[in-house]
Amino acid sequence: MAARVPVQVSPPEVAASVRALTRRFGDRTVLDDLDLEIARGEFVALLGRSGSGKSTLLRALAGLDDEVEGGLAVGESVAVAFQEPRLVPWKRVRANVALGLARGDARARAEAALAEVGLTERADAWPLTLSGGEAQRASLARALVREPGLLLLDEPFSALDALTRITMHRLVLELWSAHRPAVLLVTHDVDEALLLADRVLVLDEGRIAHETAISLPRPRHRDHPDLVSLRTTLLAALGVSPEGTA
Amino acid sequence: MSVLELETEVRAGARPGPRPQSRRLPGRSWHRWISPLVLVVAWQIASATGLLPTRLLAAPSTIAATALDLVRDGTLPTAIAVSLQRVLAGFAAGAVAGVGTALVAGLSRAGENAVDPIMQMLRALPFFGLIPLFILWFGIGETPKVLLVALAVSFPLYLNTFAGIRGVDGKLAEVARTLKLGRAQLVRHIVLPGALPQTLVGLRQSLGVAWLALIVAEQINADAGLGYMINDAREFLRTDVIVVGLLVYSALGLLTDALVRLLERRALTWRREFLSR
Ligand SMILES: Nc1ncnc2c1ncn2[C@@H]1O[C@H](COP(=O)(O)OP(=O)(O)OP(=O)(O)O)[C@@H](O)[C@H]1O
Ligand SMILES: [Mg+2]
């Protein structure tokens, strides 16, 4: 078994710092000597082919993987929202959001977080009765109520319909501007990355193979000429030729 | 509703459309009473015409009258009270033992290695076969009867609670980890509630065998209780009393089952609202 990674608290200017991170499953090396730094308050999107190791990297940052090798330094507070909302089915929505908060004002904080994601009316609902979008918003509220320094999102919108996804993009931007956590958003959707992120990374062969900073102000329009050319570049980095060409 | 069915429904995803009202059609339920009624009437006629001798089986009317007499003279209430006490004591002891060992085995590998092999070995024992040993060890008083019930009750509860704990969704355990829940909180908020549906399945099974174990235990050497009443009636060829005893056993069994259902409805509201929409 690999040596456990010492998780140090990172210096104040970075939210997370990864040095020479390696993860093997048997003889397959999924993350290979990977370096990554995320600044405080920075919104980073991570693209990559299916199976390229995006979730593996995110789980390592979340402290869910005890068998990674290399250096990993994340700030004191990390929160995660997964692709499936993973709400605890036997706790009402409010209790889900308040789970793990120190007693005292837990209820009030949970309600404030639910109000922020527009779920006040559903606070007393059972998770299994929520729609997909509602469940994902509850999951976001549960992550944000902890005021994380680093918010990890693993394809949180990929199961939602296109309209709900647009609403969720707005919501995430609003929440991000209000609380300013650093965000690492794993996604398959190049447009989602372009519309939301300060920096877009492409993971390939176990490393960050491509990196683009986007300085356009938000809200962005997907037809902006800068984004159009970036899209072509990113798709090429992902090994996909843009539509219309063969 | 089994956990399995539930899971398929959950996976089936989004919103199931309005479901066909196949469950129970209220207007027609009396149809189901016709055949049992016909049977009782036929039985009564057979008894009245001498086709079915009382020595083999008393007439329904006689049984009803006897039941009334047994209630009036206090025989039946006393017998029920004695039997109920045995079942309750045995059930309580068995439930504590079964759930307790399941927690020990379910919550740690070391606990599992220590407890599970023993439980699996004991489970393989035909526990009614233990009666001679129990009599040797504990005499013929209340202890062997209560212990037999306790033993019978503990296994379904152990097996189901253990399976329930181990079946808790690992993804929720990960959530607990990202939410920085401690071990005690993990157990309290995730593991135990997650295991509860399966534990309730075990509870129903164990109540079923509790009555069975009681009947067997009371056959051997009782001087009070329903089993004693039945055995005593056999000596005097009172088939009416025997049937009354059997009916009471089954009524008590149904009653406890209904209690567990009630408990299930209350404890698993989070599922019920989902399933019934
Ligand atoms: N626990 C595990 N045991 C063995 N192999 C694993 C395990 N977890 C992940 N892998 C493998 O590691 C590789 C990367 O998986 P990962 O889930 O990180 O991919 P991903 O980039 O998130 O893919 P997707 O976009 O489809 O979610 C995959 O090939 C996967 O099969
Ligand atoms: Mg993934």
Q: Spell out the domain ranges in chain B.
A: 58-275
HEC per residue, chain B: CCHHHHHHHHHCCCCCCCCCCCCCCHHHCCHHHHHHHHHHHHHHHHHHCCCCCCCCCCCHHHHHHHHHHHHHCCHHHHHHHHHHHHHHHHHHHHHHHHHHHHHHHHHCHHHHHHHHHHHHHHHHCCHHHHHHHHHHHHCCCHHHHHHHHHHHHHHHHHHHHHHHHHCCCHHHHHHHHHCCCCHHHHHHHHHHHHHHHHHHHHHHHHHHHHHHHHHHHHHHCCCCCHHHHHHHHHHCCCHHHHHHHHHHHHHHHHHHHHHHHHHHHHHCHHHHHHHCC
pLDDT at B123: 87
pLDDT at A12: 62
Mean residue pLDDT of chain B comes to 86
Other C-beta atoms within 10 Å of B126: how many?
6
pLDDT confidence band for B29 (50 / 70 / 90): confident
pLDDT at B220: 74
Considering only residues B9 and A174, tell me which one the structure prediction assigns the higher pLDDT. A174
pLDDT at A3: 46
A69/A6 Cα distance (integer angstroms): 10
Q: Find the radius of gyration of the CA atoms of chain A.
A: 18
| Whole-complex ipTM | 0.86
Per residue in A91-101, pLDDT (tens digit) is: 999 999 999 99
The residues whose Cβ lies within 5 A of ligand 2, an ion, are A 55
Once rounded to an integer, what is the mean pLDDT over residues B8-27? 45
Once rounded to an integer, what is the mean pLDDT over residues B191-218? 92
pLDDT at A235: 93
SS3 state of residue A31: strand
Interface check B272 vs A, CB under 8 A? no
Interface check B270 vs A, CB under 8 A? yes
pLDDT at B129: 86
pLDDT at A181: 95
pLDDT at B15: 41
Residue B5 has pLDDT above 50, yes or no: no
In ligand 1, which atom is closest to the CA atom of A58?
18
Of A62, A84, A128, Cβ closest to residue B178: A62
Q: Is A30 in the pocket of ligand 1 (CB under 6 A)?
A: yes
- Secondary-structure class of domain B58-275 per CATH: mainly alpha
pLDDT confidence band for B7 (50 / 70 / 90): very low
B261/B199 Cα distance (integer angstroms): 13
Per residue in B151-169, pLDDT (tens digit) is: 999 999 999 999 999 999 9
**Chain A stretch 145-164, residues whose beta carbon is closer than 8 A to a beta carbon of chain B:** 146
Look at strands A78-81 and A150-154 and give their pairing: parallel
Residue B91 has pLDDT above 80, yes or no: yes
Substitution target from B270, B272, B273, B275 for chain A, most A beta carbons within 10 A: B270
Interface check B189 vs A, CB under 8 A? yes
pLDDT at A239: 85
Residue B228 has pLDDT above 60, yes or no: yes
What is the distance in A from the centroid of ligand 1 to the CA of A93?
A: 30
Burial status of residue B79 (CB atoms within 10 A of its CB: 0-12, 13-18, 19 or more): buried
Once rounded to an integer, what is the mean pLDDT over residues B167-192? 94
CA distance B252 to chain A (A): 31
| Residue type at position A182 | A
pLDDT at A203: 96
Residue B57 has pLDDT above 60, yes or no: yes
Mean residue pLDDT of chain A comes to 91
Residue B6 has pLDDT above 80, yes or no: no
Compute the Cα dihedral for B119, B125, B130, B136 and give only its sign. Answer: negative
pLDDT at B16: 42
Q: The tokens of B216 are what? A: 């067997």
Residue B222 has pLDDT above 80, yes or no: no
pLDDT at B23: 52
pLDDT confidence band for B87 (50 / 70 / 90): very high
| Cβ separation A99–B181 shorter than 8 A | yes
pLDDT at B140: 85
Protein residue with least CA distance to atom 14, ligand 1: A53
In ligand 1, which atom is closest to the CA atom of A26?
4
B257/B253 Cα distance (integer angstroms): 6
Per-10-residue mean pLDDT for chain A, 246 residues long? 51 85 95 95 95 95 93 90 94 96 90 94 95 94 94 92 91 94 95 96 95 93 92 90 58
pLDDT at B25: 53
A246/B254 Cα distance (integer angstroms): 71
Residue B19 has pLDDT above 60, yes or no: no
